[in-house]
Each structure stands twice: as structure tokens, then as C-alpha cells.
Structure 1
Amino acid sequence: MKKWIRIIIPVCAVMVLIVACINLGSIFMEYNRGVQEYKNLQEYVKEEHPQIPARPEEEDDFLVPEIDFEALKARNGDFRYWLYIPALEVNYPVVQGADNEIYLYRTFEGETNSAGCIFLDAGNSPDLTDRNTVIYGHNMKNHSMFGSLKEFLQNEELAEESPYFYLYTEERAVRYRIVSYYTTVSGSDTYQSVYTDEEYDGYLKMTLQKSQYKGYQEEFTEGRPDMVTLSTCHGKAGGTGRFVVHGVVDEIREWE
């Protein structure tokens, strides 16, 4: 009996190792497919192009890429914007489904993948006219999608050195200035709708009280500029933890 035990235990260990390697290989291949798909989509976004008139100042730091919106819409009718976060090199299309489940595990091209897609909350207006627009993305281990968003937490100077992110629509380019970021949980007040000036003031106060960002200045939110909230998972996989970044409209430019 002892002889058989000495044989069975190593065999079982080898089988477990083989299964683990197969699973890891499958996960790696899935991650790679997702990364490659979105890398291919970036071919529709070229380097800066003078589609928007520059400001009179000699130096203009407003980033303006050339984007083939028609081609992207042809590939996916749910396409709404292109999102760019320079500090993190986040560079992805944003879609909007009929609900918030559709793109959790479906890529821009419609493939089943744990990376899913960056997507706009189904309840938000797609024309960026809401007081607070929420955009979701997975916290991927390979830092794709919103996996790098947590770098704002890890490096306090990052948002101060590069405080902007952009949403490019067919009509305009909108630059947002980061005013707050923090950890929260799903279903918290962070995800409430904002309609009135009074609600806006209360919401802004709440985000600033929770914020771990030290670069906010009151002048950033004068006039109650519309807000965009970027949201991703945080902490243990499958948990309720969330990490959010709030930005307010800093500048808008119309395409020529």
C-alpha cells in the first residue's frame, strides 16, 4: 500500500500542475487576444492632426488625434467615444449597450473575453450632456482596460503632473481635469444620478471629502462643469470594492 501511495501522490501532483498550466495558458491566450484586438483598433486613431484650431498661445497642450469615427461605428454600432488618458496611456473606444451587462465580457468586436470593453453607463445620455457621466472598465491584471487606473493611487504625483483625460466624439473633443479619486463600493453614493445644481453641489462635496487627490483647486469647478466618473473594480476579485476617478470639463473644441 505504501508503495502505491508513493506512486499515486507524485502522479496526482503532476496532473494538478498540468491542469494549472493549461488554465494559465488559456487565461494568457485570452488576455493576449483582447490586447491584440484593441491594439488593432488603435489603427483608427492616428497621431495629432490639425483638425481643431490651436489656441492663440504659442504652446498648445490640447491633444488632438485624427479618429476614423465612421470606420469604428461600422465595426460596432454601439461605439460612442474614444477615451484617452495620457498619464496611463489608456487609449480605448467606449461603447454603450442596452444595459450594463452586455459589455462586461464582450469585446468591441463582439468576442467573448474577460477583458470586456470600456463602456458608458446604459442610463447616461450618449451626447455627454448629463451632469455626471459614468464609464466602466475592468481592472485587468495585465494593466489593460482600466487595470492601470490604480496607478493614480500608487503615485500621488501622477495626476498632478498629468491631470487631464480626453473623450473624443464625432462632434467635439472634450478635455477633463481630474479633481478627485478614491476607493468606494458598488452601489455607493458615487453612482447616484445628478440633475440639479443643488444635487451637483452635494455630489461634488461628497467626492472631495472622500478624495485622496491633493491637486484640487476650487477654480476647477467654478460654474459647475459637467463631470465624468471613471470606475473600475478594486481589491479582491469578485468583491464590491471600486476605484473611481472624477474629472470635470476643462475645455471643449469642435472639430473643423
Structure 2
Amino acid sequence: MSTKMKRILSVTLTVLCLGVFIYAAYGLIDTAIDYYKNWKVLNNVQEKFYAAGPDEVDESVIDSNSDSIRSGFDILLKENEDLVGWITIEDTQIDYPILKADNNVEYLTQGFYKEDNIAGSIFMDFRNDVETPGLNTIVYGHRMKDGSMFEQLEKYQDKDFFKSHQTFQFDTLYDSYEAEIFAVYNTTTDFNYIQTDFASDAAYEQLLTRTKEESMYETDVEVSARDQIITLSTCDYELDDHDGRLVVQAKLVKKG
């Protein structure tokens, strides 16, 4: 190969490598911007929520078909009527509003103000009803590399963390609950742990039994067909790159 051809080949390879680098850098910058925007939006929402005092009830905001909407939520509902609740887990970044659309797709890529964002939102399954909660309330969230959304559910795979964090706070527009964790496990979508309708008590108890069998921990939390549960679901790659899931399930105990 002539010297001239070597030079041409070298320049071509350099240009190609530079192009790949610029493309990759652009993607990283774009992702970083989305992370920052998501943090800024959620920080603003958190400030408004806690400033209003979420443990109080605002008697001035009443739906004719429901109970009083709790303070904190009423303010944020004016900014997004899809707001249905709030979830808080101590010693994690999980301190977020919960949204609900008429499908399970919209909030995969939309933030609180319905802006496009790769982090999406924490959202409730569209089959659930926040006014009359069913037996199994499902809440979804992405696992983001900056530790946001449901990424830190993975802390529950550490036994010491689980032992010291066996409950979390779940609030809806109308009620406040302490969620007592009874199952943590990796699974795939072949297991219908997000089932919301049950033909009988026996069918529901069958699901509860299966979840306890799947769990990586044994707990003292007793769950029966009389109890309501909450299921936190996020992606996980231990069992499958596409259909793997990390699941945390808890019994709901109403406060007050």
C-alpha cells in the first residue's frame, strides 16, 4: 500500500472515530439534560407538596362523588389532574408523586407536566381506582442510572437494608397508608404479579402464596384475602434482558 493510500485510510478512520465519539457524546449530553430537567421538575413538585402539609385535609376541595382531597394534593392537581398519590421510602431517592393515565404507556416517557423525558414518571396501573382501591394496587417506575425513579428499589436486594426498611409511606388523594413489605423478588412478566381482578378469595390467596414463595426473604407480615396490597414494579436484568422485573410488595395498613 502506498504512503498516500495509508494517509487517506488514516484520515478516514480518524474521521469515522471522531463521528462515533461526537454521536456518543451527544447522546450522553442529551441524557444528562433529561436527568437534570427531571430532577428540577420533581424538586419543584416536592417543595409544593410538602409546603402545603400532605397530612391535612382541605375541606374546600371536595369532589361530589368522593371524600375530601388531602392538602398538598389539591394544589398539585391544578397542575396535573392525573395525580393520584405519593410514595416515600426512607434512605432512598424515592419521594415522588404518583400519576395515572388511561393507559400504561403515556407516563413511561412523560414527566409530571407531561413534558417528554426518558425518566418518565412514577405511575399507577390504569386498571386501579384511587377512590375505591382494589386488592392489588400496581405502581410502576423506570430504573434510571442517576439513581432516580425506581432505581433504588434495588437496595431491597440487600438483606441489611431490607431488615431496617420493612415499611414505606403510601399516600393517595384521600388516605394515608403504612405499607408493610412481605415480598421482594426478581421475576419475569410470565408471572402475572400485576393481576388486579380476582374471581374469588381463593384466586387472590393463590397470588399471595406465590409471591411469598418467590420472595428472597421471609417476613412476619401476615397477608390474607381480607387485605389490600401495593405492588412496586420496575425493570431488572438478572433473569431476562427484556422481560425481567424487580418487585416489592407490601400490605396496606390505613393510618388514622
- Residue 239 of structure 1: how far off its partner (Å): 0.8
Corresponding position of 2:176:
173
Structure having greater relative contact order (Cα 8 Å, sep ≥ 6): 1
Residue 238 (structure 1) shift: 6.4
Tell me the equivalent position of 1:241.
Answer: 244
Moved more, 128-137 or 221-230: 221-230
Do the aligned partners of residues 187 and 122 (structure 1) sit closer, same or farther apart at CA in structure 2, a change above 3 Å counting?
A: farther
Q: Does 1:253 align with 2:220?
A: no
Deviations along 1:123-181, whole A, 9 cap, x unmatched? 1122352111111111111111101111111x112121111112112322111100001
Name the counterpart of 1:192.
195
Cα separation, partners in 2 of 1:158 and 1:47, compared to 1, 3 Å = farther
Query: How high is the TM-score relative to the length of structure 1?
Result: 0.85
Q: Who is 2:40 aligned against?
A: 36
1:103 corresponding residue in structure 2:
107
Q: 1:142 to 1:131 in 2, by over 3 A?
A: same
Partner of 1:14: 18
Displacement of 1:230? 0.3
Where 1:220 maps in the other structure, the secondary structure is coil
State the secondary structure of the residue aligned to 1:175.
strand
CA distance in 2, matches of 1:112, 1:238: 24
Aligned pair partner of 2:160 in 140, 152, 157: 157
Work out the number of aligned pairs and report it: 237
Query: What is the aligned partner in structure 2 of residue 72 from structure 1?
Result: 76
Residue 67 to residue 137, structure 1, CA distance change in 2 (3 Å): farther
1:122 to 106, 122, 126: 126
- Unpaired segments ≥5 residues, structure 1: 53-65
Give, in whole Å, the separation in 2 of the partners of 1:43 and 1:176: 23
Identity %: 27
Q: Structure 2: where are the runs of 5+ without partners?
A: 57-69
Q: Tell me how large the CA RMSD over aligned residues is.
A: 2.3
Rounded to whole Å, the distance in 2 between the matches of 1:88 and 1:128 is 29
**Cα shift at 1:184:** 1.1
